[in-house]
Amino acid sequence: MWHNRAALSLFAGISTLFAQNAAAPASPPYQLPPSRKAIADHRVEMRNTHERIIAVVPMIGAGTLQDPRRPQFAPPPRSGRVAPSPNGITAYSYQLTDDGKRAIVEFVALNRTAFRAIMADNSGNVKFFEKGKVSRSQLLTELQKHKKDVNLDHLGARIP
């Protein structure tokens, strides 16, 4: 009979022990202090996302509502709330060159294949530079041949 009492008292002690541990709040095992945040917490600037290319291209278009003046290879304005094609150029920004006949353009796309027509142009009217593959000083030297006060910081095309 004393075996039953000992077993019962042992069982009561163990169940109380587990009940206390279950009620205690558990802290996450890998929580970093605020001073040691992960590198992934830093956001990438939007001007450094997607595929981007800077090009000097001729201006096209008659300047009418049906055919607006824009840089060559730039998509025409979308009507209504039509989303840009994921396979084409999704955004662009430009500055006119000093002669007004050409533009320095930053084209943005989701994938590099959208720039095939620009890269394959053999007319001699198009120069392109892949962003990140040419130094900023080399790019400025080449672009200043077309626009003396070119500002690369104003070429930040925004993604729709």
Burial class from Cβ neighbours inside 10 Å (0-12, 13-18, 19+) for residue 127 reads middle
Distance CA 96, CA 85 (A): 26
pLDDT level of residue 4 (50, 70, 90 thresholds): low
Look-up of token digits 């620009």: 118
Which amino acid type is present at position 99? D
Distance CA 11, CA 6 (A): 8
pLDDT tens readout for residues 97-116: 999 999 999 999 988 999 99
pLDDT tens readout for residues 52-65: 899 999 999 998 98
- pLDDT higher than threshold 60 for residue 132: yes
Cβ 146 vs Cβ 104: under 8 Å = yes
